[in-house]
């Protein structure tokens, strides 16, 4: 019985601790997919300044040696508590990062994003960001 109680206590502590689900995943070329918390998932360039290349929240992403593509949802102030931000499901943006030039093209609407993919001959499909974990 004590073992079960200890196991349950440990599980509760692990699932309630901030940072347990956070991660940094290399996208090659010093780029990373960073999850700071459940709302703040972004693409950064790992340098001395660690600038954010694609702001939160990145919900879908994919990459190859030359490009990173991403779908991002914007954030807005919570109407009930303006000190907090919540996802804005109506603010959908798309991004293309040229890794060699360290430049981001975006935010783009879906139509412009698809045209740019075609123009740059990028053959990648977006995947849920959490699938890269």
pLDDT in tens, 46-94: 866 668 899 889 999 999 999 999 999 998 888 888 888 888 899 999 9
Q: Quick check: bond before 27 cis, omega within 30? A: no
Average pLDDT in the chain: 83
Q: Give 124's pLDDT tier (boundaries 50, 70, 90).
A: very high
**Which of 4-8, 14-18, 72-76 has the highest average model confidence (pLDDT)?**
72-76
Mean pLDDT of 21-32: 85
Q: Give 19's pLDDT tier (boundaries 50, 70, 90).
A: low
Of 49 and 22, more confident: 22
CB–CB of 85/39 below 8 Å? yes
Which of 85, 65, 89 shows the shortest CA–CA distance to 76? 85
> Which residues, other chains included, contact 98 with Cβ-Cβ below 8 Å and sequence gap of 6+?
66, 67, 104, 105
How far apart are the C-alpha atoms of 16 and 73, rounded to whole Å?
25
> Which residues, other chains included, contact 45 with Cβ-Cβ below 8 Å and sequence gap of 6+?
30, 31, 32, 51, 53, 102
pTM as predicted = 0.78
């Amino acid at each position: 019985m004590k073992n079960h109680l200890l196991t349950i206590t440990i599980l509760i502590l692990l699932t309630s601790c901030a940072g347990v689900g956070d991660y940094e995943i290399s996208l090659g070329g010093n780029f990373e997919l960073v999850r700071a918390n459940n709302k703040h998932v972004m693409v950064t360039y790992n340098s001395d300044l660690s600038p954010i290349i694609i702001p939160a929240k990145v919900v879908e992403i994919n990459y190859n040696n030359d490009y990173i593509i991403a779908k991002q949802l914007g954030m807005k102030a919570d109407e009930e508590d303006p000190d907090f931000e919540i996802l804005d499901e109506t603010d959908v943006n798309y991004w293309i990062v040229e890794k060699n030039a360290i430049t981001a093209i975006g935010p783009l609407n879906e139509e412009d994003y698809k045209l740019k993919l075609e123009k740059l001959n990028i053959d990648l499909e977006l995947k849920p960001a959490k699938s890269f974990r």
